[in-house]
A = this chain, B = another copy of it.
Amino acid sequence: METYLYAPAFERFITLLIILNAITLGCLTYSYQDHGPDSPLVQRLLAFDMAIICVFVVEIVLKIYAQGFRFFRSGWNIFDFLIVSLGFLGGSYPLTVVRSLRILRTLRIVRHVPSMKVIIESFLRALPGIGSVIMVMMLLIFIFAVIGTSLFAPVSPEYFGDLQSSAFTLFTVLTLEGWPDIAREVMPIIPGSWIFFVSYIGINSLVILNLMIAVIIQSMQKEYDEHAEEEREDILAEVRAISARLERMANSPTNK
């Protein structure tokens, strides 16, 4: 797919750096708490992290220099570029959030482990088929959130106080987590509200079932097409050979 312009040794070095960076950032979470942000250990770990990110920047700059604009044609390159760039924004965003996102650099490892790369790529290929099911689920959450807020806001302000609370509550109900508690809070006061919950869960279960099947069918069809194609080609080749032989036979006696 993509041409690497440097030696495999360099690539293995980058893989090692990514793993070292993950370990460094993992250690940082402990040292922050145990020694405080200004302790020499934290300072040294941060310096090491900075050194690694510098290598990453150099790596990407070299690759852009070597490949020019073609660099940005590979999705994995764009991903690397964005992940490494993350380390340089900061400014207006709260510092802890930006800092915590440094760990996303570990995701770069996926590109360097072939078995993981296969999973992520098959995953990304399946996304478009999933996309419209997720849109339907978001539409359902929106509709039920508006109904839920209108009906239950005075009864259960914690769960249905406003539109975004209702939407979050309905997302938790989507995972079925703790929904009976929510339902039992509302049901004694508003009769018939069980219809709201049962229909929401019923519809969503069927939509999720649909999602699963859509993805299974899609994967199987691809698998099947490849195999069936091959099988058909085998039989057709045999049959066509017979056809050609017949052709020759049909022609030869008339010529005689």
Which A residues fall within an 8 A CB radius of B?
Answer: 22, 25-26, 29-30, 32-33, 96-97, 99-101, 103-104, 106-107, 109-110, 113, 115-116, 118-120, 122-123, 126, 130-133, 135-136, 139, 142-143, 146-147, 149-151, 153, 162-163, 168, 171-172, 175-181, 183, 187, 194, 198, 201, 206-207, 209-217, 219-221, 223-225, 227-228, 231-232, 234-236, 238-243, 245-250, 252-254
Cα of A176 to Cα of B172 in the assembled complex, Å = 9
B246 contacts A150, CB within 8 Å?
A: no
A249 contacts B250, CB within 8 Å?
A: yes
Known: A177-B178, A210-B123. A221 touches B221 (CB 8 A): no
Cα of A42 to Cα of B212 in the assembled complex, Å = 42
Known: A29-B163, A241-B243. A107 touches B236 (CB 8 A): no
Cα of A32 to Cα of B146 in the assembled complex, Å = 12
Identical subunits present: 4
Q: A132 contacts which of B25, B115, B220 (Cβ < 8 Å)?
A: B115
Q: A150 contacts which of B29, B118, B147, B209 (Cβ < 8 Å)?
A: B29
Q: A136 contacts which of B116, B207, B213 (Cβ < 8 Å)?
A: B116
B151 contacts A136, CB within 8 Å?
A: no
B142 contacts A206, CB within 8 Å?
A: no
Q: Can you give 11 A-B contacts (C-beta < 8 A)?
A: A22-B142, A26-B142, A107-B139, A119-B132, A177-B177, A228-B228, A235-B236, A236-B238, A238-B239, A241-B243, A245-B246
Residues of B contacting A139 with CB < 8 Å?
A: 106-107, 109-110, 116
B248 contacts A250, CB within 8 Å?
A: yes
Shortest Cβ gap from A238 to chain B (Å): 5
B223 contacts A223, CB within 8 Å?
A: no
A212 contacts B210, CB within 8 Å?
A: no
Q: A239 contacts which of B104, B171, B239 (Cβ < 8 Å)?
A: B239
Cα of A89 to Cα of B184 in the assembled complex, Å = 29
Q: 13 new A-B pairs (CB below 8 Å) besides A32-B150, A100-B146? A: A96-B150, A97-B151, A100-B151, A110-B136, A119-B132, A122-B210, A172-B180, A232-B235, A235-B236, A235-B239, A239-B242, A242-B246, A250-B252
